[in-house]
A and B are shown apart, each in its own frame.
Chain A
Amino acid sequence: MSPALSAEKLVKLFPGVRALDGASLRVEPGSVHALLGENGAGKSTLIKILTGVHRPDGGRLEIGGDANEVHLDSPQAAARAGIGVVHQERNLVPEFSVAENIMLQRLPTKGGLLDRAAVRAEARRYLELLELDLDPDRRVRGLPVSQLQLIEVAKALSMDSKVLLLDEPTTASTPSEVDRLFGIIRKLRDGGTAILFVSHKLEEVYDLCDTVTVLRDGVSVLESVPLAELARPQLIEAMVGRAHTVTELPERPPSDANPTLELAGVSTSDGHRDVSLSLHRGEILGLYGLVGSGRTELAKALLGLSPITSGSVRVGGKQVKIHNVREALKKYRIGYVPEDRKEEGLFLEQPVSRNIAVAMWDKLSRRVGGVSAKAERQLADEYVERLGIRLASTGQLAGELSGGNQQKVSLAKWLAAKTEILIIDEPTVGIDVRTKAAFHELIWGLAADGLAVLLITSDLVEMVTLADRIIVMRDFHVCGELVNDHVYDSTSREVMELIHADAPE
């Protein structure tokens, strides 16, 4: 049987990064195919190529048969070629009716005007196919998210799609909604549709999918392998990789005996349950878990961005309640270097000096309230030298720097603010290997200087290289803690065993 969708050796280059470097997958009609990969593996780039958002720099894409090569240069072209997409975020027009949203890509007309009867009739066909009992004339605004998602499935099918791509469809669903969605997916599969299911929830993948492709570092490390032949540890290992070496870093002075940050039985409104950990000055504590295990959310709750519902947080031995980021920074000296430096970390249109000094403006300000540009520059120069940021001058705009240097600027901001506890989230995503090593030395050096570092990373090699202890999280709780001996094979196995032992069968 010829595959419904076949991608061969796709390559996609971004400035400084090979996001995809030979990614391949084949999806057969009437099957559900899982696409897996950790942060930065190239999953979203592949999805964007399949949906016509990005054009590949190399490789071959075929839809509906071996010889039918396609070039998708727009989302519409992808839809016309037969790839229906349900994106992770909802994409419906709130003021339009259910029927019109379903048919929006090819609204039927009569005499130049919208043919409402045809819109309704066509839409009803897809609603019935999905066993969705909804009034097609109902306005979309106000419908529950799970129904919006099914409407989008109907919309994706409205173009007679041969392939249905579902991008993380269950992130916001309750178990019963997931069951319903899976029922529909199975029904479509039995009807001959090829389904590409993108997820990071392994239970769901095993429950639903027939075959799997795993991406790592832009390459398909497993390509269209039947899931029945693949045990869960093998799958996880394929995702996180093992063929890496851990860099040796010099000895560090021992960390303080008394914890500077201590969480005991913390639960949050995001769904964390009974999280306990302690972090000492001069220590790097790793927070490991697969994507979606709640690590970033825990960091944000610590900063006061979402409420902590029970348990206690102690900073320097005293119980505290942190209400907002400003308080976290000014009062408790906790800094957070976000994963998404472009969106959350930097002011790309502002000079580097201002980016570094922004958290220090109230210290730098003179009596009249202005901030001295000279003081800003001095402060920036100090950290540019200390972190080895490569730039022409501190007057350069942050947006002009390379990814690694941007990340250093983002880090410099928090160091300049004299933080004592630094949470660093996925510091090296999208950064090339050499800069990565320099960054590791930098983080190591910060801890040697007495900073308490909470490191969040999905890169297990990075974790084994840097962390003193590793807290392993799964599904918003801690499933274990281990002391890192910096030996990749044994530590990674222990981490995987902790995750695996915790997962429901």
Chain B
Amino acid sequence: MTSLSTLAPRAVFRSTESTLAILAAAGFAALAIASDGSLLSGSSLETLFTYLAVPVLIGLAQMVALAVGQMNLSVGALGGFVAVAAGSVMAHQGVPAWLAVLGALVLGAAVGAINGLVVVLTQINGFIVTLATMTILTGLQYEVVGTATLSDYSPGLRELGRTSVFHIPVIFLVAIAVAVALAVYLRRAIWGRRLLASGGNPLAARLSGISNNRAIILAHCLSGLLIGVAAVVTLASAPGVNQSIGGDWLLASFAAPIIGGVALSGGAVSVTGTVLAALIVRLVDVARAQFSLDPSWVNFVVGAVVLGTVVITHRRGASA
């Protein structure tokens, strides 16, 4: 009863989720065979999962925004800004790692809440609001770190980023724990339900005494919090943080939930689908490395798959 797939027992998702699970398993097996089994070695698995933690987290961050019919374009810029800000206070001001990590989470959630507040107070589309905050945050990120790369911070945190339990990196376990917590929250917590009710049918929600404004602010705040976690994971696992962190997060953040079966119109989420889709995108990247393909090829494939998924979902919705 508590497995991830029963956390979202919705017929459509079940089919999407099982399709994705089969696809991921098949892809993994194919890559394992193509690499003559070297993918199954401990270090290969560690690499695979280490670089899966951030895509899972930012995918979930986008998913929460999509859940209320919003978008968060500031995913990458916020993650980059939080990462360099926390890295900088650790490296330059000597702030202890635990405090910097806590600060990163609070900062992420706070900026997310501001996104939500601006959307609610101005009644301007979340797309435009987060486009603006994206630009502002990118500027702040450059302001904090300039052209430097910070790598001289908390050895403990960086050690944690390299630690694995049975070849499964701790940071990936963190991402999965966050995913489970989010799934439980959306499934069981009152405000999680209200958020989804508001996304699914704002009018019905309003007539049932649910504040759509609060749901929007909450969704953006949660989205920011998840980005905060992604920033901490980046600090722990990346060789260093600089101005380029977060630059390639935007497409990835949309790819996971959209391929994972999350409705762009809101109200329908799938944590399992989003996690599985992030894994599939990661496997495409592994294949690229395996066969020494051009990196742009990955973007092409992911972009095409996202577009294809949207078209198929739209068709399915229209015929239903």
Among B197, B203, B267, B268, the most chain A Cβ lie within 10 Å of the Cβ of: B197
When distances are taken between beta carbons in the complex, the residues of chain A under 8 Å from B206 are 75
Instruction: State whether the Cβ of A365 lies closer than 8 Å to any Cβ in chain B.
Output: no
B268–A112 touching, CB < 8 Å? no
B200–A91 touching, CB < 8 Å? no
Encode contact with B along A91-119: 1 for CB under 8 Å, 0 otherwise: 11111100010001101010011101000
When distances are taken between beta carbons in the complex, the residues of chain B under 8 Å from A92 are 201, 204
Instruction: State whether the Cβ of B188 lies closer than 8 Å to any Cβ in chain A.
Output: yes
A75–B209 touching, CB < 8 Å? yes
Q: Cα distance A428–B320 when bound, in Å?
A: 39
In the complex, how many angstroms separate the beta carbon of B123 from the nearest chain A beta carbon? 15
Instruction: State whether the Cβ of B288 lies closer than 8 Å to any Cβ in chain A.
Output: no
B188–A75 touching, CB < 8 Å? no
Partner of A91, one of B188, B190, B204: B204
Instruction: State whether the Cβ of A79 lies closer than 8 Å to any Cβ in chain B.
Output: yes
**Closest B residue by C-beta to A119:** B193
When distances are taken between beta carbons in the complex, the residues of chain A under 8 Å from B95 are none
Instruction: State whether the Cβ of B61 lies closer than 8 Å to any Cβ in chain A.
Output: no
**Closest A residue by C-beta to B210:** A104
When distances are taken between beta carbons in the complex, the residues of chain A under 8 Å from B209 are 74-76, 79, 105
Instruction: State whether the Cβ of B205 lies closer than 8 Å to any Cβ in chain A.
Output: yes
Among A79, A87, A104, A114, the most chain B Cβ lie within 10 Å of the Cβ of: A104
Encode contact with A along B57-92: 1 for CB under 8 Å, 0 otherwise: 000000000000000000000000000000000000
Instruction: State whether the Cβ of B56 lies closer than 8 Å to any Cβ in chain A.
Output: no
A107–B10 touching, CB < 8 Å? no
For the side of the interface on B, what is the size category?
A: 20 to 34
Instruction: State whether the Cβ of A139 lies closer than 8 Å to any Cβ in chain B.
Output: yes
When distances are taken between beta carbons in the complex, the residues of chain A under 8 Å from B268 are 94-95
Q: Cα distance A155–B197 when bound, in Å?
A: 15
When distances are taken between beta carbons in the complex, the residues of chain B under 8 Å from A142 are 320
Among B190, B197, B208, B268, the most chain A Cβ lie within 10 Å of the Cβ of: B208
When distances are taken between beta carbons in the complex, the residues of chain B under 8 Å from A76 are 208-209
Partner of A113, one of B10, B188, B207, B267: B188
**Closest A residue by C-beta to B189:** A113
Encode contact with B along A119-161: 1 for CB under 8 Å, 0 otherwise: 0000000000000000000010010000000000001000000
B207–A112 touching, CB < 8 Å? no
When distances are taken between beta carbons in the complex, the residues of chain B under 8 Å from A91 are 201, 203-204, 207
A95–B200 touching, CB < 8 Å? yes
When distances are taken between beta carbons in the complex, the residues of chain B under 8 Å from A104 are 197, 204-205, 208, 210
Interface residues in A, total, Cβ within 8 A: 24
**Closest A residue by C-beta to B193:** A114
A107–B267 touching, CB < 8 Å? no
When distances are taken between beta carbons in the complex, the residues of chain B under 8 Å from A105 are 208-209
A93–B205 touching, CB < 8 Å? yes
In the complex, how many angstroms separate the beta carbon of B313 from the nearest chain A beta carbon? 14
Given contacts A75-B206, A104-B197, A104-B208, contact A93 B267 (CB under 8 A): yes
Instruction: State whether the Cβ of B196 lies closer than 8 Å to any Cβ in chain A.
Output: yes
Instruction: State whether the Cβ of B11 lies closer than 8 Å to any Cβ in chain A.
Output: yes
**Closest A residue by C-beta to B203:** A91
**Closest B residue by C-beta to A158:** B208
When distances are taken between beta carbons in the complex, the residues of chain B under 8 Å from A74 are 209
Q: Cα distance A100–B192 when bound, in Å?
A: 13
B190–A93 touching, CB < 8 Å? no
When distances are taken between beta carbons in the complex, the residues of chain B under 8 Å from A139 are 10-11
Q: Cα distance A349–B252 when bound, in Å?
A: 38
Among B189, B209, B268, B320, the most chain A Cβ lie within 10 Å of the Cβ of: B209
Which A residues lie at the B interface, using CB under 8 A?
74-76, 79, 85, 87, 91-96, 100, 104-105, 107, 109, 112-114, 116, 139, 142, 155
A-B contact pairs, 11 of them (CB 8 A): A76-B209, A93-B205, A94-B200, A94-B268, A96-B200, A105-B209, A107-B193, A113-B190, A114-B187, A114-B189, A142-B320
Q: A100-B193, A107-B193, A114-B189 are in contact. List 13 more A-B contacts (CB 8 A).
A: A79-B209, A91-B207, A93-B200, A94-B200, A95-B10, A96-B193, A96-B197, A96-B200, A113-B190, A114-B187, A114-B188, A116-B188, A155-B208
- Top 6 closest A-B pairs, CB basis? A91-B204, A76-B209, A93-B200, A104-B208, A113-B188, A105-B208
